[in-house]
Amino acid sequence: MTTTRKLLVTNALPYVNGHLHIGHLIGYIQGDIWVRFQRMRGNRVGYFCGDDTHGTATMIRAQDEGRGTDALMEEMSTSHQRDFADFGVQFDHYGSTHTESNRALVAEIWAALRKAGRVKEKEVTQFFDTEQGIFLADRFVTGTCPRCKAEEQYGDNCEVCGGIYDSHEVLNPRSTLSGSTPEMRSAPHYFVTLEEFHAFLEDWVHSPGRLQPEIAKQLEGSFLSEPLRDWDVSRPAPYFGFEIPDAPGHFFYVWVDAPVGYIAATADWCAENEEVLDDWWRNPDCEIHHFIGKDIVYFHALFWPAMLKTAGFELPNRINVNGFLTVNGEKMSKRRGTFILARTYLDHLSPDYLRYYYASKISTRMSDIDLNFEEFTAKVNSELVGKLVNLASRTARFMKGQKLCDPYPDDGGLFERGAAAGAEIIEAYEACDTNKVARIVMGLADRANEFVEQGAPWALKKQEGKEEEIRAVCSVALNLFNQLTTYLEPILPELAPKSRALLSRSGAIGFEDTQQPLCGLAVGKFEHLMRRIDPERIEAIIAASTEEN
Q: What are phi and psi of 322, to 5 degrees?
A: -110, 160
Residue 464 burial class via C-beta count within 10 angstroms: exposed 0-12, middle 13-18, buried 19 and up: exposed
Spatial distance between the Cα atoms of 414 and 420, rounded to a whole number of angstroms: 10
Q: pLDDT 10s per residue in the chain (549 long)?
A: 468 999 999 999 999 999 999 999 999 999 999 999 999 999 999 999 999 999 988 998 998 899 999 999 999 999 999 999 999 999 999 999 999 999 999 999 999 999 999 999 999 988 999 998 888 878 789 999 999 999 989 888 888 888 888 778 899 999 988 899 999 999 999 999 999 999 999 999 999 999 999 999 999 998 999 999 999 999 999 899 999 999 999 999 999 999 999 999 999 999 999 999 999 999 999 999 999 999 999 999 999 999 999 999 999 999 999 999 999 999 999 989 999 999 999 999 999 999 999 999 999 999 999 999 999 999 999 999 999 999 999 999 999 889 999 999 999 999 999 999 999 999 999 999 999 999 999 999 999 999 999 999 999 999 999 999 999 999 999 999 999 999 999 999 999 999 999 998 887 889 999 999 999 999 998 888 999 999 999 999 999 999 753
Residue type at 25?
L
Helix (H/G/I), strand (E/B), else coil: 320: strand
> Is the distance from CB of 110 to CB of 244 less than 8 angstroms?
yes
User: Domains (ranges, CATH) in the chain?
Assistant: 6-118+194-210+239-323 (3.40.50.620), 119-192 (2.170.220.10), 350-514 (1.10.730.10)
Q: Which residues are CB-neighbours of 428 under 8 A, at least 6 positions away?
A: 434, 436, 437, 440
pLDDT value at position 549?
35
Helices (H) then strands (E): counts for the chain: 21, 17
Spatial distance between the Cα atoms of 73 and 106, rounded to a whole number of angstroms: 20
What is the torsional sign of CA 273, 275, 280, 281? positive
pLDDT value at position 201?
97
Angle, vertex CA 544, rays to CA 541 and CA 546, nearest 5? 105
Spatial distance between the Cα atoms of 52 and 261, rounded to a whole number of angstroms: 8
> Is the distance from CB of 315 to CB of 204 less than 8 angstroms?
yes
